């Protein structure tokens, strides 16, 4: 594991959060091995929290777009971004839920260190994807006289991006199951 890999960064964050007690217990052979495995679960928890927060932050710019439609009394556009909002909420709930994390893969699995690192790399790529989505939605500034078709095309394109993200979430388990 390289020192600048995403998984090592998350493990470093976990170690920094746990402090002196973790350092003391990891000095003992039995506890050290248990804590070594536990740090991957904590890194997974940290990455899931970060990913869900980034997805949640996409809601506010979408809500502002919708507010502009209401403010400008564009009745033909009001509610056009609601589908994006609901997809973001569903994705966030999937990530927070038990079906996404390491525990969701089944507690009977004994993951190897390389598999856990591959999962962390996958999660890191998803976090990077949410940053790209955030840039896209925040850079959107529709003029007051924007056409309905332009808005519908933008919503459709952004929904396609969210569908790709959803596919990446679902294919995450394939990294672990070596499909």
Domain-located, residue 30: no
| 153 vs 107: which has the higher pLDDT | 153
Res 1: pLDDT: 47
Domain-located, residue 112: yes
Domain-located, residue 31: no
Range of the domain at 97: 46-176
For the ranges 21-30, 53-62, 71-80, the maximum mean pLDDT occurs at: 53-62
Domain-located, residue 22: no
Q: How many domains does one find in the chain?
A: 1
The DSSP-derived string for the chain is --TTSHHHHHHHHHHHHHTHHHHHHHTSHHHHHHHHHHHHHHHHHHHHHHHHHHHHHTHHHHHHHHHHHHHTT-TTTTTTTHHHHHHHHHHHHHHHSTTTSGGGG-TT----HHHHHHHHHHHHHHHHHHHHHHHHHHT----TT--HHHHHHHHHHHHHHHHHHHHHHHTHHHHHHT-
Give per-residue pLDDT as tens, 108-160: 455 666 777 777 778 788 888 888 999 988 888 778 788 888 888 988 999 99
Q: Which of 23-27, 104-108, 175-179 has the lowest mean pLDDT?
A: 104-108
Domain-located, residue 18: no
Domain-located, residue 35: no
Domain-located, residue 92: yes
């Amino acid at each position: 594991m390289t020192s600048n890999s995403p998984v090592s960064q998350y493990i470093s964050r976990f170690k920094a959060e746990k402090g002196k007690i973790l350092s003391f217990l990891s000095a003992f052979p039995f506890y050290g091995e248990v804590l070594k495995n536990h740090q991957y679960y904590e890194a997974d928890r940290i990455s899931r929290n970060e990913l869900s927060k980034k997805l949640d932050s996409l809601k506010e710019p979408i809500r502002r777009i919708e507010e502009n439609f209401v403010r400008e009394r564009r009745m033909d556009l009001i509610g056009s971004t609601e589908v994006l909002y609901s997809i973001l909420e569903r994705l966030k709930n999937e990530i927070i839920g038990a079906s996404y994390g390491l525990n969701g893969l089944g507690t009977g699995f004994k993951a190897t260190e390389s598999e856990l690192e591959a999962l962390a790399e996958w999660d890191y790529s998803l976090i990077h994807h949410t940053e790209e989505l955030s840039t896209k939605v925040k850079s959107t500034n529709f003029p007051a006289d924007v056409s309905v078709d332009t808005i519908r095309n933008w919503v459709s394109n952004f929904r396609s991006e969210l569908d790709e993200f959803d596919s990446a979430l679902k294919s995450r388990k394939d990294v672990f199951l070596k499909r």
